[in-house]
Copies of this chain bind each other. A is one copy, B any other.
Amino acid sequence: MKKKSIKDIAQELGYSKTTVSFVLNNKGDEKNISKKTQEKILAYVREVNYQPNQIAKSLKKGKTNTIGYLIPDISNPFYAKIGRLIEDLLADKGYHLIIGSTDETQEKEDLLLNMFVNRQVDGLILASSFENLGMLNTLAAQRFPMVFFDREHPDFFGNYILVENKNAMKGAVQKAIKHGAKKIGLLSITPNVYSLELRIDGYREALSDNLIDIDNSLIRIVDNNNLKESTKVQLKHLVEDQVDTIVFTNNQITAHAIWAMNIFHQEKIDDIRFVSFDNLDLFDYSKPKVTSVAQPIEKIAHYTVDILEEVMNKKECISKRIVLEPKLIERL
């Protein structure tokens, strides 16, 4: 039982491919196909459960209804959640998602970008590390529909959906200071992307503005390749340095630090406050207490899809930069 094509349908019914195609695409009336014929074709198509070949359609139409979702890691809850929201929003418009996780490596990003282009995706949603500006610039030059989120690059001009990184972080740290924080450490993954640098800048500014000396030994970078273990090690340094507050630049590292505090520093667990960029459900009850800067993921997903649709439809070269306000969730 091979799959039936329009050609088969046409032959079996004694019509031409053209007629069948018109009917299937709801152009029957417009193209003067008689009601009787239309019904006959539709009935038959239903009977044999004909399924159009999207690939053939895509080739002819030059449109695949597919969007590439390029991110560091789909198993990171932040990208998974936004991915899910985007999936639903796009599904309503008839688009579907191909995913690509880069692990922040240029090699994989290149490969995936090429794959997406070869597969003729209609657009790209990406949280890129911008290590391959060359390829991105080429795509931008061809006006390939792209929307970037979560990360930005000062030298790359494109559509961005971002959150206020610096000021949000600054605000969170300032609140902590207002509530008595004096010795404030920072733990970050390697700040290979601009957004992370901005978060660190926010931390620095909060300290300066409050006349707290910035002690670079309290700013510690963990090894991305060995996140959990490295977080544990760096955290130990900060605990030994008697900080009263630790600031984290993303949720993954905060989660690992909570783990390490509970397993290795129980005795200090009530003496240290955490401030995290990104929220996690477990922050509602975890120890230490975590005040977090929650990104508005629904809004991020909405804007991303909206702007992508705009750039896919319009021929003009628009370039929007939308900066959303994160929400500070204080837990004291």
Chain A residues in the interface with B (C-beta under 8 A): 1, 49, 51-56, 58-59, 64, 66, 73-75, 77, 80-81, 83-84, 87-88, 96-101, 114-115, 117-120, 138, 142, 255, 258-259, 262-263, 281-282, 284-286
Contacts and interface: CB of A to CB of B under 8 A. Distances in A.
Contacts of A81: 75
How many copies altogether? 2
A71 to B, nearest CB: 10
Contacts of A49: 138
A239 B66 CA distance: 48
Contact of A120 (B55, B66, B87, B96): B55
Given A77-B80, A87-B100, A255-B281, 7 more contacts: A51-B114, A53-B120, A73-B84, A74-B84, A80-B80, A97-B98, A282-B286
A142 B1 CA distance: 8
Contacts of A138: 49
Contact of A51 (B1, B97, B118): B118
Contacts of A84: 73-75, 101
A74 B66 contact: no
Contact of A285 (B54, B98, B258): B258
Contacts of A262: 284-285
B87 A101 contact: yes
26 contacts: A1-B142, A49-B138, A53-B118, A53-B120, A54-B118, A55-B64, A59-B59, A66-B98, A74-B80, A74-B83, A74-B84, A74-B87, A75-B77, A75-B84, A80-B80, A88-B101, A96-B98, A96-B99, A98-B98, A258-B282, A259-B282, A259-B284, A262-B284, A262-B285, A282-B282, A282-B286
A66 B97 CA distance: 12
A214 to B, nearest CB: 31
Contact of A263 (B77, B99, B284): B284
Contacts of A281: 255, 259
Interface SS of A by simple majority: helix
Given A77-B75, A87-B74, A51 B259 contact: no
Contacts of A88: 101
Contacts of A56: 59
Contacts of A117: 51
A142 to B, nearest CB: 7
Contacts of A100: 87, 96
A307 to B, nearest CB: 21
A175 to B, nearest CB: 22
Contacts of A115: 96
Contact of A55 (B98, B119, B258): B119
A118 B115 CA distance: 20
A87 B216 CA distance: 39
A126 B118 CA distance: 26
Contacts of A142: 1
A59 B51 contact: no
B73 A120 contact: no
Contacts of A83: 74-75, 99
A77 B77 contact: yes
